[in-house]
Each structure stands twice: as structure tokens, then as C-alpha cells.
Amino acid sequence: MHQQFNFLIEVLGTISFAMSGSFAAMQKRLDPFGVLIIAFVTSVGGGTVRDLLLDVPVFWMTDMLTCSLIFFTCLFSMIFKSIERNFKVTLFIFDSFGLGLFTIIGIQKGLSVGLHPLICLTLGTITGCFGGIIRDILLNRIPLIFRKEIYATACIIGGGIFLLMTKYSGWSYTLVQISTILLIVVIRTLAVKYHWQIPKFYDDGSHGEA
């Protein structure tokens, strides 16, 4: 049961980020091949960086299911485009769910090889965020993680609670997974709705004056 649910999380995460990448690419009016490339890097970018850091085989290179899911999700998103015009909302929904799903996947991957919980939390944040970073760089945008929106912070808070609940709560592992994935989505949604921000550095221009 636990193994099957982990598989479901990976499938849903791949689909969510493939949709997110596809809609972001279509916002920029890329051609179908460009949309597929952006969908692919959004889905596998974070996991690729994670696996390289762990010095293990990169997951999608031995898993044709992942590649097939991305391809067919991308096709569906291009068809869905003719029905759904509100790219911004759709992109946000899929990106938020992908963030939550992949954060938990990354943490679990670190735990499975016996790493320190803080390193696992870092791997979860990398898995959740780096696909979006690569997507935004390729689309010539400042990545969300570097802007005012709460993004990586949602991964860190949700991932931290996941680790604490796994160790100290009496909840089933599956329930902990579901609740912390939803928590990351909720944090991200509330942050955008109520304009929660981390304080930023401002340049007052004084350093350039004589």
C-alpha cells in the first residue's frame, strides 16, 4: 500500500509539473516542440539535480513511464488550451500541487539512503523548486523562488512538518504524506492571496555616491 501510494505521488507530481511547464510555455507562445521541452525540464529538472547530488542513476533515464506521462500530459495541455484561457490560474494550481508532491518525494529519497533530516529537507526543496527554476530561466523570467512570492519557504515549512510528524505523530505514514502535501499547497495559495512576502533587500542608491 505504502509503495503504491508513493508511486501515485510520483505520477501526480510529474503530471502537475508537466502541465505547469506546458502552460508557462504556451503563455510565451512557444511552438509545440518548445512546449514539450519546457514541460519536460519542469517535470524532471528538480529530480535530476537531486539524483546527481545523491550519485544515483537519474530516475527518468531508466523509466519510460515518466517520459510517456510528460509527453501525453503535454499533448493534453495543448488540447486543453482551446478550452481554458485563464493560463495564470491554471499554471498556479498545477505548479502548487507539483511543488507539494515533489517536495515529499525528494525528502523520502534522502531518508531512504539514510541522510540527515536537514539534508533530506534540502533535497526535498531542490526536487520541488529546481524544475521551476530551469523552466523560468529558459522562458527568460526571474524564477519564482527569487521573487517576492513564498515558494521555497512553503517547501521548507511543509517538509519540516512532514519530518516531525513522521517521527513524533501517531498518524499513518500515508496520512502524513497527504496532509503535508496539502499544507504546502495551502501555504503557497494563502501567500499569494494575502501577499505574504519575505523581506527583500533594496538598493537606496547611496553606495554609488561620492
| Domain layout of the chain by residue ranges | 2-143
DSSP tag of 46: H
With CA atoms as reference, report the closest residue to 157 among 182, 132, 135.
Answer: 182
pLDDT, tens digit, for every residue of 91-106? 888 999 999 999 999 9
Q: Tens of pLDDT along 82-92?
A: 666 666 788 88
Whole-angstrom distance, CA of residue 91 vs CA of residue 80:
12
Confidence of residue 132 (pLDDT cuts 50, 70, 90): very high
Whether residue 57 has pLDDT greater than 60: yes
Instruction: Give me the pLDDT at residue 170, please.
Output: 87
- Looking at mean pLDDT, say which of 2-11, 19-28, 187-196, 200-209 comes out highest: 19-28
Predicted TM-score (pTM) of the model is: 0.89
| 137 grid coordinates | 530561466
- The mean pLDDT value of the chain amounts to 89
- Would you say residue 65 has pLDDT above 90? yes
